[in-house]
């Protein structure tokens, strides 16, 4: 049975891929500092929540735009983080979802469940995709329609990164 988080993460990956394709179709977008920084932030936060919710935490190194030689490298980082989050969801049982964790980047650390942390990661990305869509329109591009309901209406398509 598909959980709500499974749907949110499948939608998130699809929506992120749609935005990347729209940016690549409008080269001024990937040259825009605000979009570049927000893309890094979106995917950095996804990696951060992967780190904080993983039972065996991989090393987490916060990156800077300069750490990526190209936007293709940042896109690959995005895809890897979303793949890893999807795998985490598959392996996490309901008991683990309700365990309390600490989110250390708040002072004092926020104490929430794994389920709540994963929900926050998806909602946070949604918020910033909206900002990037507005900026893309300002640059003369056409932002994709990535509302959750559109994804549902269209049969929950898989992400198309290329």
List pLDDT tens digits, range 129-142.
999 999 999 999 99
Decide: 42 and 126 in contact? Cβ < 8 Å.
Answer: no
The token duo for 19 is: 């935005």
How much is the average pLDDT of 9-29? 97
Quickly list H helices, the chain. 4-25, 27-31, 33-53, 71-91, 94-97, 114-138, 148-153
**Residue-by-residue DSSP string for 99-125:** SEEEETTSSSPEEEEHHHHHHHHHHHH
CATH topology of domain 4-153: 1.20.120
To the nearest whole percent, how much of the chain has pLDDT over 70?
96
pLDDT of the residue at 56: 67
List pLDDT tens digits, range 28-47.
999 999 999 999 999 999 99
CA 143, CA 141: separation in Å to the nearest integer?
Answer: 6
First to last CA, the chain: 29
Give me the residue spans of the domains in the chain: 4-153
Mean pLDDT, the chain, as a whole number?
Answer: 93
The token duo for 20 is: 């990347």
* 129 or 58, which is more confident: 129
How much is the average pLDDT of 93-118? 94
CA 159, CA 1: separation in Å to the nearest integer?
Answer: 20
pLDDT of the residue at 26: 96
CA 48, CA 50: separation in Å to the nearest integer?
Answer: 5
pLDDT band with cut points at 50, 70 and 90 for residue 1: very low
Which long-range contacts (C-beta less than 8 Å, at least 24 apart) are formed by 110-117? 114/53, 115/5, 117/49, 117/52, 117/53
pLDDT band with cut points at 50, 70 and 90 for residue 3: confident
């Amino acid at each position: 049975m598909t959980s709500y988080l499974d749907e949110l993460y499948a939608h998130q990956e699809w929506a992120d891929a749609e935005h990347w394709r729209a940016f690549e179709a409008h080269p001024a977008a990937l040259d825009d500092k605000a979009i570049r920084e927000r893309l890094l932030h979106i995917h950095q936060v996804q990696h951060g929540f992967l780190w904080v919710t993983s039972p065996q935490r991989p090393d987490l190194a916060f990156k800077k735009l300069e750490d990526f030689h190209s936007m293709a490298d940042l896109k690959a980082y995005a895809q890897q983080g979303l793949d890893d989050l999807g795998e985490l969801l598959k392996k996490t049982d309901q008991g683990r979802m309700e365990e309390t964790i600490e989110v250390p980047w708040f002072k004092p650390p926020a104490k929430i469940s794994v389920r709540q942390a994963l929900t926050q990661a998806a909602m946070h990305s949604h918020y910033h995709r909206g900002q990037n869509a507005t900026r893309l329109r300002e640059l003369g591009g056409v932002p994709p329609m990535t509302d959750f309901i559109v994804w549902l209406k269209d049969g929950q398509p898989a992400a198309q990164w290329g």
